[in-house]
Structure 1
Amino acid sequence: MAEQELLVRSANDITETWVLNLLQYHHHHNLSGIGGTVRLRKWCLQDLKSKETLGGGCSSRVIVKVEYEVMGDVEHPATTEEQLKEETFVVKTVPSQGVMVDMLTSEGLHHSEVNQYGKFLRVLVTWEAERRGVDVGMMAEIVPSHVLAVSDDHYFTLVLPDLTQLGYQTRLLEEGLSGPEVMVTARALGRFHGTAVAFKMVTKTNLQDSFPTCFHVAHDQSELFTFFHKAGFERLHQEWEGLPERAALLSLLKPYETHATTFVVHNLLPREPFATAIHGDPQPTNILFKYTADGDCTIKLIDWAQARYSKGTYDLVYMLSIGVEPEVRRQVSSQAKEEYFKAFNDTLKDLDAGLAYPRNVFDEDMMLSEQLSVVWCVSSINLLYSSTRLQRRLYCILNDILYSPSIKPLHYFLPESSSSSSS
């Protein structure tokens, strides 16, 4: 069966016939050397209710549990008992409710996510393993292998193994990441970003041209940067005006509010040669952790809809800002930056990329990313979540960045026309 025929519009379209066709497709396209005919023994469907506002509004997610056997597999002869298999899949389909309902498809974010799994991530994982001369490389630890990734103009269907059944755990945004989890994630992001840079340098590949629709491109008419920024700052004024202790911060935020869209679009532009593939949304619910008996930890990154070609430091700062409680962030931020920087450069060296990430360039990228996080935090935490804990997190992020002596005034980094109009 062709993968396009497995596209469904909602969980209601998942039938026994669809499940059987998915299994047959999975065994013929994803499992090397597996032949024979799939016979479905039993299956069940369960709703996967997200505890996060944004996660629950972005898409419909259901669990599909299957029990089946593969008949006539002459290359892998076995008894019926040995051929009996059980698997659990997460099926993600078109948005059903919430603020992201129209934006996902109008912005093409559903194509980005599907094509990341089906094209770019698969290529990167394969290339990195071959480059290292191993069967399974380091990227396979970070990127979950998918079963199906398909989309059209209005719908998408993404099928992944249920990682929680494989021992992975996630964290709620409100909960935040622990210090050790921040370190593991920082190292993983450094390895991922370094691998993407090494890939483009060694293969002389232009990632945006060679992988069209895999990376979301920022533009000043995008609702991601117009509606969200405007609504986020409006809500901030409603909550903060009249509070004397917040007046100074509101004053410092004024340039960011005035030039939010221009600044974000300009700041997301790739700066060569260290521009890389970034996840775009490494918040706690998109990072899954797996601990071994001896205390080691690996992660998987899911939800690649906002993948971009930009500064890798944006992912690091986003994770540290949105996904970590203030006390933890202040305690581990410096070390996390060093772990990321080292992992990035170690990866470039290991893969013979022919360049190293200079400290001064990294430091400037970090500063630009911290500035960018001011707008992004106002547009996400403040708009989509309203708990006291997350509002405190937002206040501390803004306070720490806007009063930091290492952060230059915003007008230094605005396009010339916008900077002139603000003076």
Structure 2
Amino acid sequence: MLTAKRGLLNSRFTNNFLSAFKKIHNNKLAKTMDEQPEYVQASLKKIATEQGFTEGRYRIALEPGCNKGDGIMGKLCRALIREEGREQMVVLVKGLPDSELRRQQTMRLYHREVMVYDKLLPALDKFQAEKGTGSGKDDGFFRAPKCYYATCNLEKLEAVVIMEDLRESNFRMLNKFEPVDFPHCRLVMEQLGKLHAVSFAMKDQQPELFAQFRTFNDPMKMLLDMDPKRTIDKVFIETHERASGILTEEDVEAKEAMERLKGNVTDQYVACVNAEDAEPYAVIGHGDCWVNNTMFKYDGKDPTPTDIRLIDWQLCRYVCPILDLSYFLFISTDEKIRAKHFEQLQDTYYNSLSEQLARLGGDVKRQYPRDVYQAQWQKYGRFGMLMGFIVVPMMCTASEDLPDQDEYMRRLETEEHVKYDFGTEANAFERYRKRMAGIIRDVVRLGYL
């Protein structure tokens, strides 16, 4: 178990976006049903029965569920449940990696996601329904994929999450290379406001029920506490140094601020994820909210999104609400968009939270006053930059150019200095240079660093 814990977030944070289909090339299909673990086969059969398919008459076909580099930790495949005379059902099967080491490294992440689908989201839905906000309305937070089945057995190293394939409902993911525009950002901020509002309301009105979710500690902090090799320190040191190196002589204030941060990135991260320090204003946050973990729906050819789903809840955590906002706005947008819309998007979030909290019987002036919100931006606004040191190089790298994850992890465990070889191809580095330099300049300009 200690090995599992120590490997947990090395894998997740140092290469968060490597593909589940690293060993599946081009048009090769995923493994057949017979090659799946027995518990995965049983899970799919259970769903088929629950959805009314006839035993002995239906068949289940599997195919890849994403492209290389799409960012799923483990294996993702589509299961097509077919029976003559009725419409097929398509679900996504999110399972563990093949190797035992990788399974150990990701088990706690699957455990957190199973808790989200089995406990957290149903509790949020029930609480909102009791307050008169139903899932058929647009005045609540109901923006996660439908989950048909989720299970995690830490002792047996077994875990699977089976959910709807959002592409069947015409949701799609944006290009990670392109900065997210204002209409898409606005929708993200609105939904984060609603998500956080439910936390504020439930924590205030049903504290005993909500108490179980206050234990959703930050996973990387858990790793830091029990990893004597301090591998996350190695990652932060290397990525901070790389980010500092792309600043020009004109970036005087930014260079000075980055020099002050040298050797202190891990401590800054730990300070940001300290939920106790954020009380009484900590909430349940998504935890990994960036462009690749959002999917959007549109009305015809209109480029303005009409709906959204937040996917990949493996890093869901109880922290200051600013962390979700800073993570998304700094990593998923660029300098131009922030220069024009940053304050407007901050307002969008706060207004959405205020309105939703009022619907749920709360009072934003009492539970999250505007001056506290602004003060927390000053205290926690740097978080997006801290995570950007690690995430942005991968975000700017084409899927086919992403380095081997297992080799990188092995070197982190055995070597003192490991070069962070993401985004080294010319186009990738230029994308990285522009995006990362812009993040640093904005964080300094806004007084967050």
Q: Bin the TM-score by the shorter chain.
A: 0.7 to 0.9
TM-score by length of 1: 0.78
Q: Does the 8 A contact of 1:20 with 1:39 survive in 2?
A: no
User: What is the CA–CA distance in structure 2 between the aligned matches of 1:242 and 1:279, rounded to whole Å?
Assistant: 30
Q: 1:416 maps to which residue?
A: none
1:109-148 maps to which residues of 2 (within 5 A)?
109-132=109-132, 134=134, 136-138=136-138, 139=140, 141-148=142-149
State the number of aligned residues.
375
Confirm or deny that 1:358 pairs with 2:358: no
Q: Does the 8 A contact of 2:75 with 2:95 survive in 1?
A: yes
Deviations, residues 74-99 of structure 1 (Å, cap 9, x unaligned): xxxxxxx4xx23111111111458x9
One-letter amino acid of the counterpart of residue 89, structure 2: E
Confirm or deny that 1:272 pairs with 2:272: no
In structure 1, the residue corresponding to 2:174 is in which secondary structure?
coil
In structure 2, the residue corresponding to 1:172 is in which secondary structure?
coil
Deviations, residues 193-228 of structure 1 (Å, cap 9, x unaligned): 111211221112363x424865545344266x9534
Unaligned runs of 5+ in 1: 1-9, 70-80, 410-423
Confirm or deny that 1:300 pairs with 2:309: yes
User: What is the CA–CA distance in structure 2 between the aligned matches of 1:118 and 1:112, rounded to whole Å?
Assistant: 10
Q: 1:314 maps to which residue?
A: 323
Q: Does the 8 A contact of 1:141 with 1:298 survive in 2?
A: no
Deviations, residues 364-383 of structure 1 (Å, cap 9, x unaligned): 12222322222211132245
User: What is the CA–CA distance in structure 1 between the aligned matches of 2:314 and 2:170, rounded to whole Å?
Assistant: 24
Deviations, residues 20-45 of structure 1 (Å, cap 9, x unaligned): 7445533676x6xxx68545433321
Match of 2:256 among 251, 254, 257: 251
User: What is the CA–CA distance in structure 2 between the aligned matches of 1:132 and 1:338, rounded to whole Å?
Assistant: 26
Q: Does the 8 A contact of 1:233 with 1:378 survive in 2?
A: no
Match of 2:77 among 55, 62, 66: 62
- CA displacement at 1:101 relative to structure 2: 7.0
Once the two structures are overlaid, the 10-residue window that deviates more, 387-396 or 293-302, is 293-302
User: What is the CA–CA distance in structure 2 between the aligned matches of 1:19 and 1:96, rounded to whole Å?
Assistant: 13
Residues 248 and 133 (structure 1 numbering): CA distance in 2 closer, same or farther, change over 3 Å? closer
TM-score by length of 2: 0.74
In structure 2, the residue corresponding to 1:65 is in which secondary structure?
strand
1:351-390 maps to which residues of 2 (within 5 A)?
351-356=360-365, 357-382=368-393, 383=420, 385-386=422-423, 387=428, 388-390=430-432
Percent identity of paired positions between Structure 1 and Structure 2: 21
Q: Does the 8 A contact of 1:281 with 1:306 survive in 2?
A: yes
User: What is the CA–CA distance in structure 1 between the aligned matches of 2:92 and 2:53, rounded to whole Å?
Assistant: 24
Q: 1:230 maps to which residue?
A: 234
RMSD over aligned CA atoms reads 3.3
Confirm or deny that 1:26 pairs with 2:47: yes
1:15-414 maps to which residues of 2 (within 5 A)?
15=34, 21-22=42-43, 25-26=46-47, 37-52=54-69, 55=71, 58-68=73-83, 81=85, 84-95=86-97, 103-105=105-107, 108-132=108-132, 134=134, 136-138=136-138, 139=140, 141-153=142-154, 154-205=157-208, 207=210, 209-211=211-213, 214-216=216-218, 218-219=221-222, 220-221=224-225, 226-237=230-241, 241=245, 245=249, 249-270=254-275, 271-293=278-300, 297-356=306-365, 357-382=368-393, 383=420, 385-386=422-423, 387=428, 388-404=430-446, 406-407=447-448
Q: Which runs of 4+ in 1 moved over 6 A?
A: 16-20
One-letter amino acid of the counterpart of residue 146, structure 2: S
Residues 364 and 275 (structure 1 numbering): CA distance in 2 closer, same or farther, change over 3 Å? same
Deviations, residues 217-253 of structure 1 (Å, cap 9, x unaligned): 5344266x95345324324535755976267634312
Residues 62 and 249 (structure 1 numbering): CA distance in 2 closer, same or farther, change over 3 Å? same
One-letter amino acid of the counterpart of residue 282, structure 1: C
